[in-house]
Structure 1
């Protein structure tokens, strides 16, 4: 996305989805104190600022941030607490949901009932853009740092929602596939920052020696050669070369960060790479989504084994199934009570 030179404040104008410009600060349909949350102009400490806001329904809004860390704009979808309007002075626990590779910030509301499932709970749900293949890191970039997805997610965005929506310091994070990597990597890189972290079919060992049935070699090589290079990216810009810059890879790799998750409640789920009950009848075991889940299963087994050996608080759910949304939706519903308890009690 290109950087925008003007502010926009939009709200849903009708059930058909038409939008119209409105004045910031006018009445908010959710009742309570009658105030619409107005984030346009709210800034992070480094100058990143909200330049657009779009109200989708009384609890759901999209914001566009002109990010210094990214050098471009990025969006986030936010689901407000059910009593947001009624508790004007409250601070709110936050649940971050991260999308997978080739996805975007709207995926969780497209494929799951996150709005309905969190109704009645006093939590902010924040679903940020993570880039097509951003991989939840400030890119190594041969000594640079852009795009700086980690800084966007862990510094700019939190400061904005703290200042604009009174987000508190009780946080949980969850994600699928690439987002599962992000959830565990962020929690490991910021010990104590998140009370709970969940991964659904996550990439939990980027340095695994095999990519299993999807590539004849290490997983890192498959990740770069089959995804970054074909899409026009410099394949070494992400973390550098897996051998020459192995320390950079390890510093972000969930498996290498396991010991730093000791104070975080964990939920890890993954399919076994065989067609399961939520796959279409007659699914071929050699289908891409099945084979890729088999590769993820190798990594998840190693992560679970290491976490168990050192006595981490981990809940595990493994099952027959592929790398696909029906399973992630189901697993999210299983993990949600754990995530909510971690940030709303104690």
Structure 2
């Protein structure tokens, strides 16, 4: 695998950004299947490379991996911040494909993330299902509306920063993944394959369970995995391998 730290000036964010990229080393000029891999709330574009063996795992699957940074944005166009949803969904894929031989085909694109990034992955997949063959959440913050009742000052401050006062009433909005699942079912949307996992000892476990219940109630296929583990890198390093094995790869 080739590892590249790609720096460019983002027009959407009006600042310089860094993206970590892994590329398979092949003799032919094929366009690569790509995993768009998102970080959690306290991390950045370097986290997956620093904390896991993603480079080795991706090499085993001949898969390109793009790892952007999204700050504390919850992968939203923030109320008091930058337009990270537009950056992740639109500018980033366009720029990366202009730099590297990455396939645009739906069957060659997958998105995954941990914690806040698990939410980000599912948000993008449900909003743009025609772009991805599969989406995966590892210990994802999948029920944003559940934070509306939080009494933690730090969390309330963060939610206001991201959503404004609307954070108090996220249920039923475009931000609410549970609502988006229901709407997708009602509209007959051809969704990507979905995967979610969480550890038994994870403080955010109930959010993954809520997502799984909503999929079940709406007869939306979901591979859901619970097992030993906490909100920690040892768990995510183990589970990202399971995600990569699960991806619906087409024959090259």
Contact 1:239 1:245 (C-alpha < 8 Å) held by counterparts: no
Change beyond 3 A, Cα 1:320–1:63: same
Q: Runs of 5+ in structure 2 lacking a partner?
A: none
Match among 181, 203, 215 for residue 258 of structure 1: 181
Q: What residue is the counterpart of 2:53 in the other structure?
A: 113
State whether structure 2 residue 222 is matched by structure 1 residue 314: yes
Change beyond 3 A, Cα 1:240–1:328: same
Q: Report the Cα offset of residue 122 of structure 1.
A: 3.5
Distance 1:160 1:243 in 2: 32
Contact 2:114 2:138 (C-alpha < 8 Å) held by counterparts: yes
Match among 58, 64, 67 for residue 124 of structure 1: 64
Q: What residue is the counterpart of 1:187 in the other structure?
A: 125
Distance 2:8 2:35 in 1: 19
Q: After superposition, give the CA deviation of every residue in 1:299-341 in whole Å (9 maximum; x if it has no partner).
A: 11111011122222211111232111111111111111122xx
Question: 3-state DSSP class of the match of 2:137?
Answer: strand
Q: What residue is the counterpart of 2:102 in the other structure?
A: 167
Whose helix fraction is larger, Structure 1's or Structure 2's?
Answer: 2
Q: How many pairs does the alignment contain?
A: 244
Q: What residue is the counterpart of 2:154 in the other structure?
A: 226
Change beyond 3 A, Cα 1:106–1:185: same
Q: Report the Cα offset of residue 118 of structure 1.
A: 1.6
Contact 2:35 2:65 (C-alpha < 8 Å) held by counterparts: yes
Query: Which structure 1 residue ranges, 4+ long, deviate > 6 Å from structure 2?
Result: none
Q: What residue is the counterpart of 1:23 in the other structure?
A: none
The 5 Å alignment of 1:141-220 reads: 141=80, 146-169=81-104, 170-208=108-146, 219-220=147-148
Contact 1:93 1:344 (C-alpha < 8 Å) held by counterparts: no
Q: TM-score, normalised by structure 1?
A: 0.65
Contact 2:126 2:191 (C-alpha < 8 Å) held by counterparts: no
Change beyond 3 A, Cα 1:345–1:302: farther
Distance 1:272 1:315 in 2: 16
Q: After superposition, give the CA deviation of every residue in 1:29-62 in whole Å (9 maximum; x if it has no partner).
A: xxxxxxxxxxxxxxxxxxxxxxxxxxxxx60000
Q: After superposition, give the CA deviation of every residue in 1:161-189 in whole Å (9 maximum; x if it has no partner).
A: 21121211221011000000101111111
The 5 Å alignment of 1:1-346 reads: 59-83=2-26, 86-88=27-29, 90-131=30-71, 133-141=72-80, 146-169=81-104, 170-208=108-146, 219-222=147-150, 225-227=153-155, 229=157, 235-242=159-166, 246=170, 250-259=173-182, 260=184, 262-273=190-201, 293-294=202-203, 296-339=204-247, 342-345=248-251
Q: Report the Cα offset of residue 228 of structure 1.
A: 6.5
Change beyond 3 A, Cα 1:74–1:345: same
Q: TM-score, normalised by structure 2?
A: 0.88
Contact 2:112 2:135 (C-alpha < 8 Å) held by counterparts: yes
